[in-house]
A and B are shown apart, each in its own frame.
Chain A
Amino acid sequence: MIKYRNIIFIISFGLLLFSCKKDEPTPIPYQPTPYNIEIPFGFPTNLNIPADNPMTVEGIELGRYLFYDGRMSGRTHPDSLMSCATCHIQANSFECGIDHPEYIGGFTHGITGKPTPHVMLPMINLVWNSSGYLWNGFIYSENPNAQFRNIEDLVWMGIVAEHEMNSDTNRAKEVIQNIPGYPELFKKAFGSETVTVKNMGRAIAQFIRTIISANSKFDKYLRGEVQLSQSELHGFVLFTTEEGADCFHCHGGYGNPLFTTHLYYNNGKDSLFTGPYEDPRDRYHVTGDPMDYGAYKATTLRNIELTGPYMHDGRFATLDDVIDFYSHHLLWSPYINPLMHHINNGGVQLTPNEKTDLKAFIQTLRDNEFLTNSDFGPPDKFPDGK
């Protein structure tokens, strides 16, 4: 009995002692707030959110800071900062845009000037992409190498790639670790103040998954809120008919409002793909299937007027160039996708008026509200107040 009394006394004394330690900082609670994505009208309900990186308000907030913070490149000198947002610019639907002052013509390069192998891909509505990332889908969920499976992995790849940040993951996490405010944000988001590259990737991926564009004029038309012009309506018909421009099989439409299948097609840009013409970054080099020579991801057409240059190598500067290509300049090869059934006519042979109407429809996919939505824009200040 005496033994138990002693134990109770010790516990009580201990509690008293701890409650008197007024100088110790209050621990940061780890209670992340679940974040639910609101599914826009007609969009898929299945989301590509990895089980080990659920969406949280705190994770998204941290991801937004990191996305815009040039110090994530592991550098602190103002001349050598580079962040995701250096190239992924909201006003251009998170591509650099053809009028970028540094990336002339929309052709990006790394911090040392090394060109990126392909031009940028749209970085919107990616939470609905389950068919691989990058132009050839090299980043995919079943990749035998677990380092190359989802958006999270594109973050460390961007840090180390010579044609992007050309940095070092240890330097990147050290720099972030030593910026006041970030450790607390990591604690809130992931339960530890220790900055890891893995958690940097998880946070940025969470932010990227919130970047949703679904309120274009065409969306409003589908919801019955606005009417399209005669030219836009005719362009819509052309877009979704085989005898018109026949865009919909790869680029969606009313029944597939992503405006992409996220799949890979040889769309007739070239006739030679092997030997000296081989691109080590086409779809063939992921699948090993010869039918995938010269095949690349079909991009979403949402906000497409802002995301030139077009095609994997940026060979077309304008939408007019692209429409002309699909109308008259397709090139046959044994690897041409069967959906390109106008190939032996050189294309879909649109008239000048039809081209105008098709372009007018495609421009209804521009989402102005998205392009200025402050939720996706740069924070006013970074966690250290800078």
Chain B
Amino acid sequence: MIMVNSCKKEEPDDEQENQKIILSFAFLVDGQDLQTDTMIYINEASNHYLINEIQYFISDVTLHNSNGSSYLIDEWKDIHYIDTDIPTTWTWEVFDNISAGNYNSISFTFGINEEKNQTLMFVNPPESFMFWPIYLGGGYHHMKLNGKWLDENQQISPFDFHLGIGQIYYSYPDSITGFIQNYFNVELPNSAFSLDKNQTREIQIIMNIENWFKSPNTYNHDDWGGDIMQNQEAMHLACENGHDVFTAEFIY
């Protein structure tokens, strides 16, 4: 009798639900797949530009259920790194089992929030290569978007559109009196979905690159130059533009 009972415990639970989501990441410019290193794009400020590479973090991905509850996915491993040069980063197979049901929307943090963005949190590449210097606020870049543009002198110039912790200077560039985190919350538009029992759904998060330079602020590379890590005004404009950079697609 004892043996029979002990064997029963190892039997699979037929009632256990197994719903999964897979997040994948894509890059578009003007609705087309990104072509790197080709000067074929024109931004809102009429700058001709190319993209060389993009590296960024998202975190705090949250599913908002129609019943009013919210679910933070993979709470203990919730910062994800995406890199145009590393295909393995283009997919995040979420570990958690997600409850079946109807979800109104998906949101996430672009970058890493203040509590989690701590120096030496990542010691291994490629994430460690995203470190943001201690002197400039520490932690990690939220994003590196590297490219070139045809400047006002018709010279091809590099730009490093890097976002991370901004600085408030008393006397630029030697006297920093405060920091601004510059991460922000993204509510993905049109991201309602349903998850059936035992279903796996792939949700593609798309970065629409042109929007970084488009609205509400027209970002002109001729105005801001090649580097902005020590220019909070430029990073602030970029962060405002970032709210509508991301969209979602559902892949069945």
A residues apposed to B, CB below 8 Å: 42-46, 130-131, 236-237, 240-244, 246, 248-249, 252-256, 261-262, 290-291, 332, 334, 336-344
Contact = CB atoms under 8 A, between A and B. Distances in A.
Interface stretch (B8-16, B130-138, B184-192): B130-138
A261 B131 CA distance: 11
B99 interface: no
B80 to A, nearest CB: 18
A269 to B, nearest CB: 16
Nearest to B167: A241
A220 B230 CA distance: 28
Contacts of A130: 125
Nearest first, the 8 closest Cβ-Cβ pairs linking A and B are A255-B131, A341-B226, A240-B133, A338-B146, A338-B158, A242-B227, A341-B158, A44-B124
B109 interface: no
Interface centre among A44, A244, A256, A332 (most CB of B within 10 A): A256
Contact of B160 (A256, A261, A339): A339
Given A240-B134, A248-B133, A341-B157, A43 B123 contact: yes
Contacts of A43: 123
Nearest to B135: A237
A338 B229 CA distance: 15
Contacts of B230: 241-243
Nearest to B131: A255
B227 A341 contact: yes
A338 B136 contact: no
Interface string B142-153: 000011100100
Contact of B227 (A131, A243, A256, A337): A243
6 contacts: A44-B123, A242-B227, A338-B146, A339-B158, A340-B158, A341-B226
B21 to A, nearest CB: 27
B179 interface: no
B124 A338 contact: no
Contacts of A248: 131, 133
B125 A42 contact: no
Interface of B: 37, 52-53, 119-120, 122-125, 128-129, 131-136, 138, 140, 146-148, 151, 155-160, 162, 173, 225-227, 229-230
Contact of A338 (B52, B122, B125, B155): B52
Contact of B128 (A241, A255, A290, A338): A255
Given A42-B120, A240-B135, 13 more contacts: A42-B123, A44-B124, A240-B134, A240-B136, A242-B160, A242-B229, A254-B134, A255-B133, A256-B131, A261-B125, A339-B160, A341-B226, A344-B155
A261 B155 CA distance: 29
A157 to B, nearest CB: 25
Interface centre among A236, A253, A338, A343 (most CB of B within 10 A): A338
A343 B133 contact: no
A206 to B, nearest CB: 22
B157 A255 contact: no
Contacts of B120: 42, 254-255
A69 B53 CA distance: 45
Contacts of A344: 151, 155, 157
A338 B148 contact: yes
A375 B230 CA distance: 44
Given A44-B125, A341-B226, A253 B158 contact: no
B119 A255 contact: yes
A103 to B, nearest CB: 32
B119 A339 contact: no
Contact of A241 (B123, B147, B173): B173
Contacts of B157: 341, 343-344
